[in-house]
Amino acid sequence: MRTKFNLASSPLENNRQFIVGSTALGVISLLMLTLLSIHVVRARRANRETREDIMVLQKQIRGSQAQQERLRAVFRNPRTVEVMERSEFLNRLIEERTFPWTKMFADLERILPPGVRVISISPQMEKDDTVKVVLVIGAENDEQKDKFVQTITASPVFSNVQVTEETYPKSREANTATNVLFQLEARYEI
């Protein structure tokens, strides 16, 4: 029979489990450190690309702002302001010349009742491709005036019709053709 005796001053301990566990934990930690390092490198690379894109965009913004300032200086120039005002005036004249007078007279002729006449027409071009028209109309009596207002209101080419002023001449002689003068504003569809 054999017996095991440990005659050493300190008893023998089995540290294999600790060494295997420590080694496994070290390998896992090293793997995690490697993955984290790869992630950091990728993030830094992506951030560098983003910073470069931001720098390019900021450079473009500075260039655009400098160009905007140069253009503002050009447009503040008195000579440029004069040219722009002149072109705006000429554009308004061209718009007035392109007003379809014959079409408007034809439309008015269709809706004008007997005893009513147009005294003046003042068109003003609006930005929404409509024309604001101020008409001064003369009528023999109130009945004809009301009839004209009803027909122009029902007309498809005139809208927003409003009588703005109405006067009766002091001399109401039987031989005068106009006993009622009135002014109306309307939108005329071109």
Using the predicted structure, report yes or no on whether residue 107 has a pLDDT greater than 60. Answer: yes
Q: Of how many residues is the chain composed?
A: 190
CATH number of the structural domain spanning residue 152: 3.30.1360.100
* pTM: predicted TM-score of the whole model, two decimal places: 0.49
- Count CB neighbours of 180 within 10 A: 21
Q: Locate the DSSP E strands across 50-129.
A: 116-125
Per-residue pLDDT of 31-55, as tens digits, reads 999 999 999 999 999 899 999 999 9
Range(s) of the domain holding residue 22: 17-76
In a domain, 59, yes or no: yes
Which region among 54-63, 70-79, 89-98, 130-139 has the lowest average model confidence (pLDDT)?
89-98
Across 121-144, b (16+ Cβ under 10 Å) vs e yields bebebeeeebbebebebbbbeeeb
Asked if residue 184 and residue 104 are part of one domain, the reply reads: yes
Residues 21/15, Cβ–Cβ less than 8 Å: no
Of 58-67, 116-125, 166-175, the range with the highest mean pLDDT is 58-67
